[in-house]
Each structure stands twice: as structure tokens, then as C-alpha cells.
Structure 1
Amino acid sequence: MLSTTPRTTLGREKHRGSTDRNDLYEVLDSGLICHLGVVVDGHPMVVPTGYGRIGDTLYLHGSTGARSLRAGQGQQVCVTVTHLDGIVLARSVFNHSVNYRSAVVYGEARLVTDEQERMDGLRALTEQLAPGQWDYARRPTRKELAATAVLALSLEEASVKVRSGAPEDEEEDYALPVWAGVLPVVSSWGAPVPDPVLAGDTATPAHIRDR
């Protein structure tokens, strides 16, 4: 079950929350980008970044010079992942909404120093964006690894919130001759666009071609 700390307990629309840890995994595993919230020099900073999950640990990475990653090391951070599934058009403007799946994770970010865990975290990050790419492409060199910071965040303190379905209008508004419903948001992959300077006649690998 998911934690029920003061930070993860929903204040509004509690019926949309989930305490099933598998729902947290689903939101995280089907996403591509998260937003990392940190405090830098006394000011809030929220940055988008890639991520990957291994068990109950989330891994983030970036340049060792990135302010957000430097500020997050050993500090309390907040990571969010959101999927927009549809625009909910109601009969009244007040009741317009969106259908979504979202996860919020709180905790102290840990700088990963163990060499094997760093590689495992980077693999998880790569595979989150492009499954199969870690075993296909060149691995990072020692110089590249030295320029890369990897943060680990426990999924111990997290919440999930989901909205789905039709608009929820006021009873007296259902008779209005105003169209209401859901405009679904659908994401899909386009055809791969090859780098114009590919070596020789390099073919598109199956794990990219068949996504």
C-alpha cells in the first residue's frame, strides 16, 4: 500500500486517490518525463528531466554542474509525473476539467556513488525512454560518467491521483443545449527520422522501428 503521510494525503477529491502501489508503478512506468522540484538558494526550482525506476527506487540524472541536481543531493525534493488523457468539456465553464493520471513522490534525494548502482540507474533511465537502447548503443565512458550525476529517490512516500470519465455538471445544467463530453488526448510514435550522417547503410534497429 502507498504511504499516508501528511504530504501524501489528498486534501480535495479524495475519491480520486489510490493507495495501490501497483497504480504508482503504472503511472511511472508509462511516463517519459518527470518534473523535479528542489529549493535552490532559498527559491523553488522545477525542472523537467528523464527518469527510470528499479523496484521502489526512482533514478534521475543530469550534468554534475546542474544546479537542480547539486541542490537536490541530500535534500528533500518532490518529483511528479503526469499523463494528460483528455479535456473534459462541461456545460458550465466552472466544471471543465481534465482526465489525468498523476504521481507525486517526496523524499530525500541520494547521490549515487556506487559504480554498479550508477550504471544500473543509467540503464533504467535509458530503457525508460527507449527500451532496448542500452544494449544497442555505446556505453558511457569514464569521462562521460565523471560528468554525470545520478540521484536516487525512494518511492516510500508517494501518492497517486486519477480522474477519468464524463463531466460532472450541476443538476440544473444537464438540460442546457450545450455539448458536453471528453476530448481524448492521444500520444503516438511517428516514423523514425534517421540522422543524415549515419555511417554507411546503417539500418533502423527493430526496437526503434517497431515501437
Structure 2
Amino acid sequence: MTSLGAPPIVRPVLSRSEGTKVDQETIATIIRTLKEEQIDLVVTLPEEPTSPLTEAIRQDAHFTSVTVANESNGISLCAGASLGGRRCVFITGIAGLLVGTWSLAQMEVLYGIPVFIMASYRGDIGDRSGISGAQLFMFQQLAEPMLQTLRVPHRVIKKRVDLEREIRDSHFACREYGTPLVLLLTGEILW
């Protein structure tokens, strides 16, 4: 019993699903496309589903890989590199994107700096990662509305077949619009 006399809420413990990380085919597609887009600086904030991708990037001599300890640092580092003419991408998770909202708002609303971001979209329908349902639901309820409120263009990418084209189109639009742009990776890309 709780202090209010009600029985405690018991939430089921979900086991982590196999296949909740980016697979080798997807990694190869992303790396090839980033190279073709002449992106050579990759800023990361390590998180579980994209860890195989960020590790493969770290091992590839084409890329300069910088790991940051804070989401705002990642967004700001990419903004500075972009202003200097460098093509870069910030790879993070949806929680990181939510935490970095203040920096993201400044890059879009105040300065109009192109920052290309790829974020794992935890909480999208179908996510069997084992993260608590309440947290997944929060991500699902906040992610896209937050980007819309900030007027940050974004796309949700669910199918591998669309990945290469979406990276190309989004990176191009980010630079042309002079604004941050976010690709939310989900579905076949993550699980």
C-alpha cells in the first residue's frame, strides 16, 4: 500500500528486444551517403541505438568524429563548423534533441544557422526498446510538436529504401534554407 492507502502501481518490466540498434546495412548506407554529401565532421552524443553507427564513423579515416558531453555543445559545435564552411552532422537521440532545445531555438530563430541533425526517434510507434512506456509516450508526444513550435524542418524516416534520398535532400535543404533540419530515424532504420 502507498501512503494514500492505494495499491502501488506496478508496471511490467519489458525485456530489451534484439535488433534495437542500427544494423550493418543501414550503417553502410549512412556512411556512404555522408561521404557523397562531403560531410566529414560528425559530432556525436553516444546513445544506444546509434552506437554501432557512431563507432563505425569513429573508425573511418574520412571522418573527424567529435564526441560531446552535452547536447547544446553538439548543436553549437556544428553551428560553428557550419559558419566556417564545414559540412557536418550531429548524431544524437530524441532525448538529446529535447535537452538541446534552447540551443536549437537560437540556431533557427535568432541566427538562421544550418545545423544538420540525425536523431534516433525513440517513442515512435513500434519502438520495442524496453524503455518504459511512459517515457516512450512522452518522446512521441513531444518530439515533433517541439520541432514544429521551433519552426525546425524535420522528416521522419522509417524505411531503409528512403534513407539515402532523405539524407541527401535534407542536407541540401538545410544548407539552402540556412536553418537547422532534423531527420528522425525510426522503423526499419532502428529496429
Sort the TM-score into its range (normalised by shorter chain). under 0.3
Structure with greater helix percent:
2
State the structure with more CA Rg. 1
Q: TM-score, normalised by structure 1?
A: 0.21
Question: TM-score when scaled to structure 2?
Answer: 0.22
